[in-house]
Amino acid sequence: MSYIVRDLTKDEEVRRLAYDIAQTQANQRGMLIGWLDLWELPKVSSAPPMEWMGMGGMGSGDDGALMPGMATNTEMDALRGLKGRAAEVRYLQLMYSHHKGGVHMAEGCVERCRVGVERRLARGMVQAQESEMKLISDLLRKRGAKPLI
């Protein structure tokens, strides 16, 4: 989503935020996959999305949304069809929802994880995404819009 909006707007503030989010999430994903390899655990599961949190059904996989706050394929296609300010607003709204879902999942890890490094990463994710949610709200307000949720 972040790489898509970088091609749809010239606004440097949104482009910088999108780049930062994409890089941060790629790094986090790499750490998580590395831990699964280290612990010889599978990277995919046959269990329903979010079952590990007691949230089965929250990420139904309908239209590509596997986790709470994850944009659907339809939403991503709609974003690709926008340009400029309209693309910025839609991206910011989708990313706010994405972060809200991410905070919820990371808080679940903080409560359930027994490995210190996992808990620290989850706490850091909560802090970073809550901070970005404030920035996203400010950017939406500048554009006369607000988060969808």
pLDDT of residue 44: 85
pLDDT of residue 63: 77
Q: Within 13 A of 67's CA, how many CA atoms are on the CB side?
A: 13
pLDDT of residue 48: 74
Which of the residues in the chain have pLDDT under 50?
A: none
Following DSSP, what letter does each residue of the chain receive, concatenated?
A: -HHHHHHH---HHHHHHHHHHHHHHHHHHHHHHHHHHHTT--SS-SSPTTGGGT-TTSS--GGG--STTPPPHHHHHHHHT--HHHHHHHHHHHHHHHHHHHHHHHHHHHHH--SHHHHHHHHHHHHHHHHHHHHHHHHHHHTT-----
pLDDT of residue 7: 94
pTM confidence score: 0.88
pLDDT of residue 51: 74
CA dihedral sign, ordered 17, 50, 149, 5: positive
In tens, the pLDDT along 100-113 reads 999 998 998 899 98
pLDDT of residue 56: 53
Domains of the chain, earliest start first? 2-142 (1.20.1260.10)
On whether the CB atoms of residues 132 and 102 are closer than 8 A, the answer is no
pLDDT of residue 61: 62
